[in-house]
Amino acid sequence: MGFVGQFSVDLEKLRTERDRSARAVLGAGTGAIRDQTKALERRLEQATQAAVPGRLWRAWNSKAYPATGIAREPVGTLFLKGRDRTQGALAFFTIPGRIRGKTGQYLAIPTAAAGSRGRLRDLTPGEWERRNGARLRFVYRPGHRASLLVLDEGVLRGKKQIAGLNTEKRRATGRGNTTIVIFFLVPFVDHANRFSIEPIVNASEGELSQDFFARIRNLR
């Protein structure tokens, strides 16, 4: 008489184990997206800080969805805080090109003596003249040298040596009067990329895969 075996399948337990495994895999993917998105933000900050003077590196920001928990399709997003000026500054340092005036006019580049440019836009010659109550004089320089806008009868003030019109009394006597360059005038500005974003992002994609599979291997 042959052996008759019996076995049973606990379907509920199988479903529970299936769901547990699925959640573990989703958790691995969500965690990898979340961590590598933040890591990419830091790499872009470091690259920007190393190549670009000032605080442009602080404009990088990132978000991951979901911020907590797990998801079937987690997403990481990198973006820049700030508006057109921030976007333009990053493009200037990462994309080779040439900037010209919109209607063919000179580009006015302020010197340190011009003072603050303001937070939202570049300082213009007209704005400088209104702010200081003084007219600037155009100085043409032939060849490849930049032309100038200068302040006559000026004086440099303070630790930062910001230019301003000398007092009326001192102008009348000629005491302390000097001619100060306020703007360089150039027909165009060439710019070359200080660093490239694409290789950093591409390298991050490989690290994302490594992170995910490392998490899968560690699942219990």
The position carrying tokens 């080779």 is 96
- Which helix H or strand E contains 89, and what residues bound it? helix 84-94
d(CA 144, CA 120): 31
For the chain, the farthest-separated pair of C-alpha atoms sits apart, in whole angstroms, at: 130
pLDDT of residue 129: 92
Task: Give, for all 220 residues of the chain, the pLDDT tens digit.
Answer: 555 666 666 677 777 777 778 888 889 999 999 999 999 999 999 999 999 888 999 999 999 999 888 888 999 999 999 888 888 888 888 888 777 766 667 888 899 899 876 654 578 898 999 989 999 999 998 887 889 999 998 888 888 898 888 888 877 777 778 899 999 998 887 777 888 899 999 999 889 999 999 998 888 6
How much is the pLDDT for 142? 85
Tokens standing for 113? 């003596």
Q: Which residue, among 115, 147, 148, has the nearest Cα to 131 in the 3D structure?
A: 115
